Amino acid sequence: MSKGSPGPTPGFLVWRLANKWRVAVDRAVAPLGLTHAQYSLVASLYGMQRAGERPSQRRLADHTGLEALYVSKLARALESAGLIERTRDPRDPRAVQLALTEQGQAVTWKAIAVVQELLQQLLEPLGGLDAPRARAFTDELTTLLDAPLAPSVPNDESTQGTRP
């Protein structure tokens, strides 16, 4: 909270909503053997495969906003669970391509249905998933996600002598 505002800051609210969503998705997909992070990976992979793409781990990391090292760790766990397959990219032997297995597709399809229901519940106060307020909210979130955001460097002259 800042000194000048009577209520929570937008940053605090974004953090709270993100945590609320992560916890809810974690609980919803746990019976399918997934975590929220794993769900984000397989659901993104599902959509990319449907569009005819067989993405590399790097491409999937860029798409999801997750760190490449974390995507690699998640991919190995999902491979061990039989949900995805990791293969070397024939065009770049350093790159690893990902694809859902049949079992992975089935689990992902179920998880997407569960999370869609959860999303409908979350957006109900805005009129539901297809309501104008929900679409406007999505547009606003997209605008914020597209905005560059770089933290200031602690020893940067522009931050010296200022207090957080």
Least confident stretch, 19-28, 113-122, 142-151: 142-151
The Cβ of residue 52 has, within 10 Å, a number of other Cβ atoms equal to 6
Smallest CA-to-CA distance from 29 within 91, 83, 86 is with 83
* Cα dihedral sign, 60-64-69-70: negative
Structure tokens given for 63? 């798409």
In whole numbers, what is the pLDDT of the chain averaged over residues?
A: 90
pLDDT exceeds 90 at position 157: no
The residue whose two tokens read 């406007």 is 136
The whole-angstrom separation of Cα 126 and Cα 148 is: 27
Mean pLDDT of 37-59: 95
pLDDT exceeds 80 at position 30: yes
Q: Give residue 84's identity as a one-letter amino acid code.
A: I
Instruction: Give the per-residue pLDDT at 142.
Output: 92
Question: What tens digit of pLDDT does each residue of 80-123 get?
Answer: 999 999 999 888 888 889 999 999 999 999 999 999 999 999 99
pTM here is 0.83
